[in-house]
Amino acid sequence: MAMIEVERLTKKYRDRTAIDALSFTIREGAIVGFLGPNGAGKSTTMKILTGFMPATEGKARVAGFDVFEQPLEAKRQIGYLPETPPLYPELTVRGFLKFVAELKAVPRAQVAKEIERCAAATGVTSELDRLNGTLSKGYRQRVGISQALIGNPKLLILDEPTEGLDPRQRNEVLQLIKGLSGKHTVVLSTHILAEVKAICEQVLIIHRGKIVADDTMAAITGGRENGLEEKFIQLTAN
Amino acid sequence: MRTILAIAKKELTVFLTTPWAWIVFTFFSFVASTFFMSSLTDFRRAHADVAQLSGGWSQVEPEFQFLRNLTDGVVMPTFSAMLMVMMFLVPVLSARLFADERRQKTFELLMTSPVSTTQIVLGKYLGGLMLVSLTVALMLIYPGVLTVFGSSFSAVTSEKTTTLEWPTVLLGFLGLLVWGAAILAIGTFISSLTESVIVAIIVTFCVSLLLLIVRILAPSAGEPLRSILEYASFEAQLRNFMRGVFDLRPLVFFSSLIAAFLVATHRSVESRRWV
């Protein structure tokens, strides 16, 4: 079953076209790398899929729900980490996760357990009683992912989840995402190819608002060591 | 409902863990205490003067008769003075409701969570309203003080002035609350238009000033403008409350105003998606 179906999705900001008639499908349970140079339209696509902004034209469905026609149902299926982790600096990590659990209508009796689960999964258990505003960048990112996991959504959309992390943290976050495969469908955007190679099964490359590659990792690399880099540079050349 | 309360609770937590609320509380009590003290001084002087008159209070002009008892002579003037102060303090509370979410990029979380725009607007307004109520509740200290210590005035006057009329006091309190709720609704709308808390505060101030100007212009305008301005003037609307007379009209007037601005906020938040 397809988790995401996108048909001819277009977004125009005044006279600039951010994404141009994108069409792709992502099957349930896949870990998909969403690649492209800076400004290619990755974040715009993610913002449309999560219902933050509407498209100018085209259709997008998440788990069978149209994101424009049935926004609340679609949003219930999604855990989203925006480019900047949406942390309220005045709240503690626990207070923040509790707030998110309430927004996502996690049953009252399960809230505490859900917070523990998501904090443990992202390694922030020891920081639960700190204020968000005092966290380091790495922890902010982790709390952001933790927040996306709350309510156990079917689909996780992570916009540059490893941005600003040190190599060790990067590795941990990647292992964490890899561990989610099977339980969740994960779409992550990045411009770091090594990360994609490490964990993704499907690769979408977007360039100047258009899809230039949509294939399995094996098909894109063709089995070569540097296959993904070569393909990426070749496809985004102009 | 649970979502609305969760958002309201979040707003309250943020307000109370940042200096915002405390600055407002402090300033509000400071100004209120000053007004209260000066009303008390006037009251004491008036009673000392009247004690010199042979006919007592029967000789006093009708317009000064309100000084005869503590409720109308001290509490209600203090409350009325605070109406004006609230025009400048409530905008400080309303300004960050939406503007801060934009600035801190947390708005994306709210907008991509399975909650409706109506729930977001109501939750935020409710959170602000709780804080405005807390602020206005500080005003209950003064009648409280008078209830405990008011009897000391029996030394300067023969009048039975020392017991407060609590129903009157509570109506005045309700007047302040309704007025605060109305400015909060206007401020919430303005906050939804900008990313900057400072801009939101300043614009809400300016709108408050317009309301003030309406009040000042009303007496000098010709008919029919005069009646319209008079009707739109908050002080005219609240006059009965401040006299301790229950009146349904201002409640209808201010509820309509609040509803209109909350609907406008809803539209403004929704339209932000479309840019």
- Residue B180 — very low, low, confident or very high, per pLDDT cuts 50/70/90? very high
Average pLDDT over every residue of B201-208: 90
A56-96 confidence digits (pLDDT tens): 999 999 999 999 889 999 999 999 999 889 999 999 999 99
Clarify whether residues A108 and A211 are in a common domain.
Answer: no
Residue of B nearest to A95 (CA): B10
Average pLDDT over every residue of B195-202: 92
Q: Measured between CA atoms, how close is B10 to chain A, in angstroms? A: 7
Q: Specify burial of residue B258 (Cβ count, 10 A radius: 0-12, 13-18, 19+).
A: buried
Residues of B in contact with A140 (CB under 8 A): none
Identify any residues that bridge with A32 across adjacent strands, giving them in sequence order.
Answer: A187, A202
Q: In this model, does residue A164 exceed pLDDT 80?
A: no
Domain ranges of chain B: 2-272
- How large a percentage of chain A has pLDDT more than 90? 46
Whether the CA torsion A117, A121, A127, A133 is positive or negative: it is negative
Distance CA B160, CA B34 (A): 25
Clarify whether residues A149 and A173 are in a common domain.
Answer: no
Clarify whether residues A102 and A163 are in a common domain.
Answer: no
Q: What is the pLDDT, as a whole number, of residue A172?
A: 83
**Contacting residues for B158 by C-beta, under 8 A, at least 6 apart:** B51, B56
Q: What is the pLDDT, as a whole number, of residue B275?
A: 56
More confident residue, B259 or A216: B259
Q: In this model, does residue B216 exceed pLDDT 90?
A: no
Residue of B nearest to A84 (CA): B105
Instruction: For residue A115, give both structure tokens.
Output: 């917070």
- Residue B118 — very low, low, confident or very high, per pLDDT cuts 50/70/90? very high
Average pLDDT over every residue of B190-195: 93
Domain stops at, among A108, A125, A153: A153
Asked if A103 and B113 count as a contact pair (C-beta separation under 8 A), the reply is yes
CB atoms within 10 A of CB B147: 15
Instruction: Say if the Cβ atoms of A102 and B111 lie within 8 Å.
Output: no
More confident residue, A51 or B53: A51
As a dihedral over the C-alpha atoms of residue B71, residue B73, residue B77, residue B79, rounded to 10 degrees, the angle is -20
Q: In this model, does residue B159 exceed pLDDT 60?
A: no
In a domain, A82, yes or no: no
Q: What is the pLDDT, as a whole number, of residue B156?
A: 59
Q: In this model, does residue B89 exceed pLDDT 80?
A: yes
Q: In this model, does residue B193 exceed pLDDT 90?
A: yes
Instruction: For residue A33, give both structure tokens.
Output: 């790398």
Place of tokens 């179906």: A5
Least confident among A155-159, A175-179, B131-135: A175-179
Clarify whether residues A149 and A160 are in a common domain.
Answer: no
Clarify whether residues A13 and A72 are in a common domain.
Answer: yes
Distance CA B230, CA B26 (A): 33
Q: What is the pLDDT, as a whole number, of residue B73?
A: 83
Distance CA A119, CA A131 (A): 15
Average pLDDT over every residue of A160-182: 83
Distance CA B45, CA B150 (A): 15
Q: How far is CA B89 from the centre of its chain?
A: 9
Q: How far is CA A133 from the centre of its chain?
A: 23
CB atoms within 10 A of CB A4: 23
In a domain, A62, yes or no: yes
Instruction: Say if the Cβ atoms of B111 and A88 lie within 8 Å.
Output: no
CATH code at position A216? 3.40.50.300
Clarify whether residues A106 and A196 are in a common domain.
Answer: no
B26-53 confidence digits (pLDDT tens): 999 999 999 999 998 888 888 888 878 8
- In order of A86, A197, B234, B235, the CA distances from B185 in angstroms are 26, 52, 15, 18
Supply the mean pLDDT for chain B: 87
- In order of A98, B14, B65, B160, the CA distances from A95 in angstroms are 5, 11, 55, 53
- Residue A193 — very low, low, confident or very high, per pLDDT cuts 50/70/90? confident
Among residues B178, B186, B223, B225, which one has the least CA distance to residue B203?
A: B186
More confident residue, B222 or B28: B28
Cis omega (within 30 of 0) on the bond before B224?
yes
Helix (H) or strand (E) holding B270: helix B248-272
Clarify whether residues A22 and A133 are in a common domain.
Answer: no
Domain stops at, among A153, A171, A196: A153
Residues of A in contact with B275 (CB under 8 A): 13
Clarify whether residues A165 and A229 are in a common domain.
Answer: yes
A203-227 confidence digits (pLDDT tens): 998 988 888 888 888 787 777 777 7
- Residue B162 — very low, low, confident or very high, per pLDDT cuts 50/70/90? low
Domain stops at, among A153, A176, A194: A153
Q: Measured between CA atoms, how close is B1 to chain A, in angstroms? A: 11
- In order of A123, B84, B225, B227, B265, the CA distances from B219 in angstroms are 67, 18, 10, 9, 32
Q: In this model, does residue B80 exceed pLDDT 60?
A: yes
Instruction: Say if the Cβ atoms of B112 and A89 lie within 8 Å.
Output: no
Q: In this model, does residue B228 exceed pLDDT 90?
A: no
Place of tokens 């399960």: A110
Q: In this model, does residue B161 exceed pLDDT 70?
A: no
Q: Measured between CA atoms, how close is A51 to chain B, in angstroms? A: 6
Q: Which of B18, B108, B116 sits opposite A82 (nearest CB)?
A: B108
Average pLDDT over every residue of B83-87: 89
In a domain, A208, yes or no: yes
Instruction: Say if the Cβ atoms of B274 and A54 lie within 8 Å.
Output: yes
In a domain, A170, yes or no: yes
Least confident among B15-24, B154-163, B249-258: B154-163
B-side interface with A, Cβ within 8 Å?
2-3, 6-7, 9-10, 13-14, 17-18, 104-116, 273-275
What is the residue range of A128's domain? 87-153
At B62, the amino acid letter reads P
Query: pTM, whole model, 2 decimals?
Result: 0.90
Average pLDDT over every residue of A102-127: 92
Instruction: Say if the Cβ atoms of B3 and A84 lie within 8 Å.
Output: no
- Residue B245 — very low, low, confident or very high, per pLDDT cuts 50/70/90? confident
